[in-house]
Amino acid sequence: MSVELVPQRLPDDDLPEEKRLPLWDHVGEFRDRLIHCAIALFATTACGYFLRFRLWDLAQRPLRLVAPELVSPFSYTDLAEPFISMMRLSFWTSVFVVSPYLFYQVWAFVRPALRERERRMAVIFTAATSVCFVAGAVFAYFVAFPVLANVLLGEAVQAGLRPNLKPTEYLNLFLCIVVGTGIAFEAPVLFYFLARFRLVTARAMIRYWRESAVAILAASAFLTPGDLIATTIMFGGVLLGLYFLSTAVVWLVERSLPASEI
């Protein structure tokens, strides 16, 4: 007596919409999306260069807010330094302008690995990543960088030094703080995907929050210049707040997953 085996039908949510692509097709898709991002960045950088002097005024504003007595604190010794500085500033401005498009390209690349109901979240993902990145940059521009500049200028005044800053070195610090804080604010989005792929759990994050706090404070002390503990505590507090916010995001993701997937 033969028994006919009927293949079990997967839920509609688990059925792929398209066949798996070979490795080289994924590499080709990644290349195409990189080209699209490069074209968008090139076009917006070219437009930003026409506004370079206005952008430079905006970049100096946090410094002038904490030290309005500095009339002209910048000087240069390399003939090409002003041009290179303006180009760098134009490029990073374009990154902020086209960040929603860049985040959408990232989403479109990872989209085939997600379930159907998750694929419909393109608008939510693009908006969330863009808002987090811009929020971090705004926080750095109006709060973090002025506080840091005030600390560093205070050290110079106490040492009896007169500021004679180089545009390149000023932009290095300014862009590091602004862009780095914007990236740090992407932590909740990153932990969302880690939770979706079951690489991290809210219980583990809560259990090891003390160890994480020590690591965060150590990283803050290493990344923030100056010897005032208040600066380290401020940046560490921001990162620790992002850690607990990410823990809440992971907890919400776990609640939304079916019991068989947890």
> For each successive 10 residues of the chain (262 residues), what is the average pLDDT?
45 45 65 90 94 93 83 83 93 91 83 66 77 90 87 79 86 87 88 85 91 87 66 81 92 76 51
Structural domain spans, the chain = 23-261
- Of 126, 250, 127, 144, the C-alpha closest to 187 is 250
- Does the pTM surpass 0.95? The reply is no
pLDDT at 205: 92
Cα–Cα distance for residue pair 103/91, rounded to 1 Å = 17
pLDDT at 226: 55
Cα–Cα distance for residue pair 168/209, rounded to 1 Å = 38
Facing residues of 165 across strands? 74
CA-to-CA separations, 72 to 147, 167, 229, in angstroms, rounded? 20, 11, 30
Q: Which long-range contacts (CB under 8 A, 24 or more apart) does 111-114 make?
A: 112/16, 112/18, 112/21, 114/196
pLDDT at 56: 93
